[in-house]
Structure 1
Amino acid sequence: MRKNNWIAAALAVFSLCFAMFVTPMAWAAQGDTGTAASSVTVSEMQSEAGSTKMVLSKGGGSGIPAFSVTVNPDGSEDYSVTLQILALMTALGFLPAIVILMTSFTRIVVVMSILRQAMGLQQTPSNQVIIGIALFLTFFIMSPVLDRINNEAVQPYINEQMTATEALQAAQDPLRQFMLKQTRVKDLETFVNMSGSSATDPQEVPMTVLIPAFVTSELKTAFQIGFMLFLPFLIIDLVVASVLMAMGMMMLSPMIVSLPFKLMLFVLVDGWNLILSTLAGSFGT
């Protein structure tokens, strides 16, 4: 039995040594073959590409055709599909910020949060419900803008009627028009002066200046709407607190008594219909 154990151990050590020495040699041989084939492929693709210049290289200067920039006859440059996909995947990381700060999402979320606070409801509706309502209402409000982006930028790019750079520029125009329509002139002038830009026409303002001006205007508008929503509920709180003080019930919280009256008032005036329709109509799209 002990002899058999030593034989098994010796075979295991031999197998391990064989794997350590033979496997790297096989990988090296495979790598040399792959390099030769790759160099032939790169040479053929370089001869066929003509006006394509490689932006990434490895080894002795052989380029990677997937990462290339094609020079057009007019001097402009088109990036390869791989680079376009890489840029798109990178841009997806900024998608939440784009949805929140470049659409109607901010105004809707702030107004809904102020409404919940004014009614005295701490967790009803929950944050998930508020964000869901704001998201789908944003899709409803932004649908004309999204349709324009699809018709003027996405579809022409899919049909190869324009380059990626031209499609990106065409997609910015409908979104720029929407943000300019909702941005106050004072806020826009403030950020233009802070940036030191010499733009005199709002259409010439860069997106880096327009976006913070738009967010500032949205926050101001949201707080104005929230203030108007807060007033009727504040009046109910004051009336209930005065009645309780007159009755000598100072130990009873006015919030507990006023909450049913707030809910009754909100339901009787069809509050959700009024608020959501008012929010959608406030953008005037």
Structure 2
Amino acid sequence: MKRKRTIFGVFLLVLLFLSPSASTAAPGDPIPGINVQITGGGTGSAVSIQLLLLLTVLSLAPAILILMTSFTRIVVVLSFVRTGLSTQQMPPNQVLIGLALFLTFFIMAPTFMQINDQALQPYLQGKLTQTEALQKAELPIKQFMAKHTRQKDLELFLSYGNYPKVTKVEEIPLVALVPAFAISELSTAFQIGFLIFVPFLVIDMVVASILMGMGMMMLPPVMISLPFKILLFVLVDGWHLVVQTLLESFQ
């Protein structure tokens, strides 16, 4: 329950960071609410625009959170496992995404706890202003992303955006760190996926060679190799090994 509240609090803090009114909040102001009024003056138009921007930010918040956590690597690797097994839609997409989400919460729990202790709780208690809380909340997530971002990927976006050379994690702009982290995660996930594909490819080649030697060229090799690949995956406790590899890759 404590971890669930922490994750909800961190999500709330991210929404405050992405809110259009974040830069205009005065120190010590409570968490802003939404008051919708239909009027004919200029104030009503301003509120409508703010509400539209807020809804836009809310719709993009899940995608932003996915790209700033370990979710990308996990879901890509799990998709490679399903493709290597050639089981079509088994496990279903809902199962893979649900497992990826809970693994993401488990891996990101220390980072979320750090954000909660250093930024969210002091802000809710009135010890920090909104700007100070957001600055403190950025550091843990930057440290996590910078740890798993390849140097050449980060330099690509820093040089293309003409950003000054950084010497500390705090100086890295999020607009450059997030895409660099995303492509680094994709590269790592594809490397893991290649290693997962190798044993399944060997089984497919062996089965295809045997069928060709027997003259059964019209029989699809996948129909014969599928039970053997599932049997091999079960015997080696494949799901345990895949999850263990993912967890160790974030240490």
1:259 aligns with 2:208: no
The answer to whether the Cα contact below 8 Å between 1:180 and 1:202 also exists between their aligned partners in 2 is no
Query: Of the candidates 75, 86, 98, which is equivalent to residue 109 of structure 1?
Result: 75
What amino acid maps onto 2:213 in structure 1? Answer: A
Segments of 5+ residues of structure 2 without an aligned counterpart are: 1-23, 35-49
Deviations 1:238-261 (A, max 9, x none): 000000000111111100000000
Query: Of the candidates 210, 220, 228, which is equivalent to residue 177 of structure 2?
Result: 210
Q: 1 CA distance for matches of 2:212 and 2:154?
A: 49
Shift of 1:277: 1.2
The answer to whether the Cα contact below 8 Å between 1:180 and 1:210 also exists between their aligned partners in 2 is yes
Shift of 1:140: 0.4
1:118 aligns with 2:67: no
Shift of 1:79: 7.6
- Give the % identical residues: 55
Q: 1 CA distance for matches of 2:83 and 2:59?
A: 32
Question: What's the counterpart of residue 93 of structure 2?
Answer: 127
What amino acid maps onto 2:217 in structure 1? Answer: M
Deviations 1:115-149 (A, max 9, x none): 11111111001111110010000000000000001
What amino acid maps onto 2:162 in structure 1? Answer: G
| RMSD (CA atoms) | 2.1
Query: Of the candidates 108, 111, 114, which is equivalent to residue 142 of structure 1?
Result: 108
The answer to whether the Cα contact below 8 Å between 2:82 and 2:88 also exists between their aligned partners in 1 is yes
Shift of 1:82: 6.4
Query: CA 1:84 to 1:175, structure 2 compared with 1: closer, same or farther past 3 Å?
Result: farther
What amino acid maps onto 1:244 in structure 2? Answer: L
Q: 1 CA distance for matches of 2:93 and 2:59?
A: 22
Question: What's the counterpart of residue 197 of structure 2?
Answer: 230
Query: Of the candidates 128, 134, 145, which is equivalent to residue 179 of structure 1?
Result: 145
What amino acid maps onto 2:223 in structure 1? Answer: I
Q: 1 CA distance for matches of 2:89 and 2:61?
A: 27
Query: CA 1:84 to 1:185, structure 2 compared with 1: closer, same or farther past 3 Å?
Result: farther
Question: What's the counterpart of residue 159 of structure 2?
Answer: 193
Q: 2 CA distance for matches of 1:137 and 1:163?
A: 32
Shift of 1:199: 2.7
Q: 2 CA distance for matches of 1:261 and 1:146?
A: 42
Q: 1 CA distance for matches of 2:125 and 2:159?
A: 41
Residues paired across the two proteins, number: 211
The answer to whether the Cα contact below 8 Å between 2:28 and 2:126 also exists between their aligned partners in 1 is no
User: Which structure exhibits the higher relative contact order, with contacts defined as CA atoms closer than 8 Å and separated by 6 or more residues?
Assistant: 2
Question: What's the counterpart of residue 220 of structure 1?
Answer: 187
Where in structure 1 do 4 or more consecutive aligned residues deviate above 6 Å? Answer: 84-88
- Matching of residues 20-99 of structure 1 within 5 Å: 77-78=26-27, 80-81=29-30, 83=32, 91-99=57-65
Q: 2 CA distance for matches of 1:260 and 1:268?
A: 12
What amino acid maps onto 2:104 in structure 1? Answer: T
**Greater share of strand residues, 1 or 2?**
1
2:203 partner SS: helix
What amino acid maps onto 1:171 in structure 2? Answer: A
Question: What's the counterpart of residue 239 of structure 1?
Answer: 206
The answer to whether the Cα contact below 8 Å between 1:119 and 1:263 also exists between their aligned partners in 2 is yes
Segments of 5+ residues of structure 1 without an aligned counterpart are: 1-68, 71-76
Asked which structure has the greater CA Rg, the reply is 1
Shift of 1:96: 0.8
Q: Which stretch shifts more, 149-158 or 85-94?
A: 85-94
Query: CA 1:206 to 1:95, structure 2 compared with 1: closer, same or farther past 3 Å?
Result: same
What amino acid maps onto 2:72 in structure 1? Answer: T
Q: 1 CA distance for matches of 2:222 and 2:242?
A: 23
2:27 partner SS: strand
